[in-house]
Amino acid sequence: MRLTVDEAKAMEAEIPYLRRYARALTGNAEAADDLVQDSLERAIARFGQFQAGTNLRAWLFTIVHNMRCDQHRRNVRRPTEIPIDDAPQQTSTRATQADALHLADFRRAFSRLSEPHREVLALVGLEGLDYQRAASILGVEVGTVKSRVFRARESLRREQLMLDQPAPREMWRIAA
């Protein structure tokens, strides 16, 4: 299917939003770019299924979500192999600035969330979608979205509290 110039420009305008959502889903910029590219290929091939007058971004987010689900199912069946030559040669150093540490803590806590919780927080919290639109993209009920947002936020709060707590005194005692 060939797109008109206006259709192509409209899709191109959505790419930053798609990349941000894909990054939240994958946790990896390279994987997110691949996901967006694959999703755009599918969207262009099936653009005839898009209903004019509806929300293009929501339609594209749905495609990204479905592509990610497909990838996840494939990856569960076939584990990822990393060649030894591609393994990191040295460990990274911790950031010295407080903001960088807080961001790293948040990323760590966010990555520990289940995929449904990451998806819903990315749509509602990062993209600013309302519950109804997020429910439509994820293919679930609005109540499920509300529940997932609540539980995901609570998990992030608990994780933050754990990160802010000093280690128990027993850890600092040296056995004599």
Measure the CA–CA gap between 3 and 37, rounded to whole angstroms.
16
So where are the chain's domains? 1-79, 97-166
Fold of 1-79: Rna Polymerase Sigma Factor; Chain: A (1.10.1740)
Measure the CA–CA gap between 112 and 76, rounded to whole angstroms.
17
Q: What is the DSSP string of 138-157?
A: HTS-HHHHHHHHHHHHHHHH
Measure the CA–CA gap between 43 and 47, rounded to whole angstroms.
5
Residue 139 region by backbone torsions, left for phi larger than 0, else alpha for psi between -120 and 50, else beta: left
State the chain's mean pLDDT as an integer.
Answer: 83
In this prediction, residue 74 has a pLDDT band, given cuts at 50, 70 and 90, of confident
Q: 1-79 and 97-166: same fold?
A: no
Q: What is the pLDDT of residue 77?
A: 77
Residue with tokens 């004599």: 176
Q: What is the pLDDT of residue 170?
A: 46
- The per-residue pLDDT for range 121-174, each reduced to its tens digit, is 889 988 889 999 999 999 999 999 999 999 999 988 888 777 765 544 443 333
Q: What is the pLDDT of residue 126?
A: 84
What is the CATH class of 97-166? mainly alpha
